[in-house]
Structures are given as C-alpha cells and as structure tokens.
Amino acid sequence: MLKHLKVDAERLKPDSVLDWGSATSGLGAEEVKFFPPSHMEPLLWEGFVRPGAKSEPNPFLRFNVRDQMNALLDGYGGCRHSEGLHFWVQDVVEEPGKPGHALVVINHPSESRVKFYDFVSGGEQIASRQEVLKRRYGIRPRHLVKRGRYHAGWKGMDLNKQHQAFIYWLDETAGALFWTLYLGYLRFVRGPIMEKRKALGGYDHPFLFVSEREPRGDDTHAMIGDPYSSAAHERNHKAAVLRIGLKHGKAYGTTTQGMRHAYGQTLRRLGVPPQVIKKGLHHRHYLSQVPYTVPTREEINAELNAAHARRNGVQMPVPQLEHETSRTLLKLHQFIVSGEVDV
C-alpha cells in the first residue's frame, strides 16, 4: 500500500536526507553602499539650506526643517524613507524622563489604534487609524492607495502588540535636535501651511510632513499642505546631496536608503548585539539585517591585520554631530523662546 514511499538506498543522497539550509554554492551576502558618515553633518547644515534663504533671520525658514527631520530619522534612527511619511503629528512626544529629547513612535498606518474625539457621539473614542482616517478625514491609509503622490509604501516590521515600534537614536544629540526641529516645524512651517490650505478649502489631515509648494502647471489635483510624497522626499534629498558635492545614487550609498544602511553599519561597528541591531532596524527576522551589516573588503582586511592589537572597551565612532550641530541646537532653542537669536 505504501510502495510508492520506498526509496532505493543506492540512489539516496545526503542532501535528500539532511537539510543543509540554503545551497552552499552561489552568491552570498555582499556589502551595501552606505552614506559616508563624515558627510552627515554637512548634509544637515549645508545641504538643507533653502535656496536663496541664507539671509533669512528665522532659522526654521532658512533651513528645510522637514527634510532635516527626515534625514535624522533615516540616518540616526534607521527608518526606511517611506516610514516617516506615515507619521502623524501626535507620533512625536517628549521623551519621558529626558526633557528636550524626542520619542518617536512608529505606528502601523492602518492597524494601530488611536484615541480621537468623535463629533457625532460628542466624546472620545478609540479606533484603528484606518477607521479614524475614514471617519474624521474621509481618506484612506497611504499604503492602501496604490497610485499617485498620496501613496507611501509600507514594509513589514517588528511591531509590538499595540502595532507600534520606536526610534532608537544613534546619538542622543540627534534626539534633542529632532525635538527642537519638530517644535519649530509645527510652529513656523506646518501650522501656517495648514492654515493656508484650510483657507483654500483643502481637507485636513493628521500627517506630520506636508508639501510646501503650490501646484504647478496643469496639476490641479495638488494643493499646498498635501501629505509629503515619496518622490518629493527623494528628490529633495538628492538636491541636498548634490549641494555638498557628493554624487547621488545607490552605487554611492547617497540615497535615502543609504542613510538607513549607514545606521546599520554604525551599529555593527559599535559591536552592538544582533538582537539590538534587529530592534534598531525594526526587522522581524535576524537574517534581514545581514545585507545592512556586511563589512566592506577594506574593513575585513583591517580587522584581520589589526586583530592582535584590539583591546576591550574600544568604542567605534558614531557619525558625528559635533560643534556645528551643538552650536546651532542651542541657538534654535533660543530662537523658539525669544525669536531674536541669529543662527
């Protein structure tokens, strides 16, 4: 009855009995290109200066604060470039127990639940983000709209039971800078833009990052204050990269994804355990981080040549936010308070 299950022992091969995993021949994981750490700070303070705005007294209007915040999320928080496009204004709060630092929460764009005021019932309710977007704003989650500038991708990630994850900053200064930029962005950029949008009859929405430009040409469907698009994000990042004298492209590691790769590489160089790298990159599986952390050929040679000289406790460098950022951060704080300090 079970004759069809019999196997000729002479024809039986080890590979058919033991699971050796993936085939041992073929291509292995190769190094990925990542954003050069030495250019992180110039990108922030030179790349994101608004064209023609160097003499603008308000630093939150002199710099493109929205894109500075996205650069911090990608390069110092390990975000995929599309993840920040799903953020709501309320997804950034001050870190409990650490005044002046940002706690950024990544919420699933449709399943994460949120408290909101329901005008129909006249009270607070809790519902999924998808339901809130539908009932309050008449729109859908961005990853469920497959075409157009409103669409923003979403890739599976390691979320908790509340469908949330958190940004883990490479450098505490990045968390402090993000919080200051966030406060200035809401007050001087997003707030006025959304007021103008409202005056033009545009719909309201909760997304943090918004378009700053009026529609051009025959693009009658666009409006100032639209949720920031993926294409615009990459385009503005490219312009900033070119301003600081770098070539832009995947081959150079200078795309927005290259910023995330730099985050993974820095964690590896710091000797961070794999489970921490997994959390920092929000991967669901350990092997997902392999392409982000493969050492370069030069690094492998350097590691072998210097192995005898290694000592415990030697810390590898994090992409530095140094004097320029510390000085500017202080003056940004002062400007928010007094409105009089030049940066």
What is each CA distance from 130 to 86, 118, 192, 282, in whole angstroms? 12, 15, 27, 22
Give the CATH number, domain containing residue 176: 1.10.443.10
Query: Which residue has tokens 């705005």?
Result: 53
Q: 332 phi and psi, to 5 degrees?
A: -65, -40
pLDDT in tens, 234-272: 999 999 999 999 999 999 999 999 999 898 888 888 777
In a domain, 256, yes or no: yes
In a domain, 269, yes or no: yes
Strand partners, 116: 125
Domain assignment of residue 54, given as a range = 37-296
Q: Which of 54-58, 212-216, 222-226, 315-319 has the lowest mean pLDDT?
A: 315-319
pLDDT in tens, 15-61: 433 344 444 455 555 567 899 989 999 999 999 999 999 899 999 99
Question: 97 or 305: whose pLDDT is higher?
Answer: 97
Pick from 82, 98, 105: which is nearest to 173 by CA? 98
How much is the pLDDT for 15?
43
pLDDT in tens, 154-190: 988 888 899 998 898 888 899 999 999 999 999 999 9
State the average pLDDT over residues 271-296.
66
State the average pLDDT over residues 88-114.
94
In a domain, 13, yes or no: no
Pick from 36, 70, 42: which is nearest to 235 by CA? 70
Rounded CA separation 30/190 (Å): 41
Question: What is the number of domains present in the chain?
Answer: 1
In a domain, 292, yes or no: yes
How much is the pLDDT for 114?
92
The three-class DSSP label of residue 304 is helix
In a domain, 4, yes or no: no
CB 316 within 8 A of CB 302: no
pLDDT in tens, 103-157: 999 999 999 999 888 777 778 889 999 999 999 999 999 999 988 999 999 988 8
Q: 88 phi and psi, to 5 degrees?
A: -95, 165
State the average pLDDT over residues 264-289.
74
In a domain, 182, yes or no: yes
User: Which amino acid belongs to residue 225?
Assistant: G
CB 260 within 8 A of CB 74: yes
Q: What is the DSSP letter of 25?
A: S
Question: 155 or 221: whose pLDDT is higher?
Answer: 155
CB 118 within 8 A of CB 125: yes
**Please, which residues have CB within 8 angstroms of residue 27's CB and are 6 or more apart in sequence?**
none
Task: Report the Cα–Cα distance between both ends of the chain, in Å, rounded.
Answer: 85
